[in-house]
Amino acid sequence: MSDDMAGMKAGLDGLVREQAERRALREQQGEEIKAKSQEYMTKQVQAAERYVQHVREMANRKTKSGWGVRDAGGPQSFEPEGFAGEPGAGAASPFAPMPGTGPSTAPAEPRRGRRHRAEPDDDGDGFNNPW
């Protein structure tokens, strides 16, 4: 009976050792994944910073060359005057229909479709093939 107990104890010790090794391996893989994701996120932040720097540089270039300056009615003013929500928006909305272009009250005549004219069957085989 003591031999059975010793064998069971050895088997249990082996299982405990295997479980500990698996836990250590899982923790090691977790740390590796964490390090890789940290490295990836660092690269993403660096790329985003470079992009923001590039956009700011382009905005500065536009401002220095006069493209970013907005003067009312000047060639760089791309928004229509009197746009809704701006001060002095007394003009009609640019999306309002023009006078005389509303829907007509007279009913439109229905269109007649083209009628297909059957061609005579020359060869008599029942197929309409011109070859």
Contact 91, 81 (CB under 8 A): yes
69: pLDDT confidence band, cut at 50, 70 and 90?
low
For residues 59 and 65, give the distance between their C-alpha atoms in angstroms, rounded to a whole number: 10
In a domain, 47, yes or no: yes
User: In terms of pLDDT, which residue wins out, 117 or 41?
Assistant: 41
Question: What is the pLDDT, as a whole number, of residue 100?
Answer: 61
pTM: 0.38
In a domain, 96, yes or no: no
In a domain, 16, yes or no: yes
In a domain, 40, yes or no: yes
In a domain, 113, yes or no: no
In a domain, 24, yes or no: yes
For residues 107 and 56, give the distance between their C-alpha atoms in angstroms, rounded to a whole number: 57
Q: What is the domain range of residue 54?
A: 1-67
Q: Which residues contact 69 (CB under 8 A, 6 or more apart)?
A: 63, 76
For residues 18 and 24, give the distance between their C-alpha atoms in angstroms, rounded to a whole number: 10
77: pLDDT confidence band, cut at 50, 70 and 90?
very low
In a domain, 120, yes or no: no
Q: How many structural domains are present in the chain?
A: 1
Question: What is the pLDDT, as a whole number, of residue 47?
Answer: 96
In a domain, 112, yes or no: no
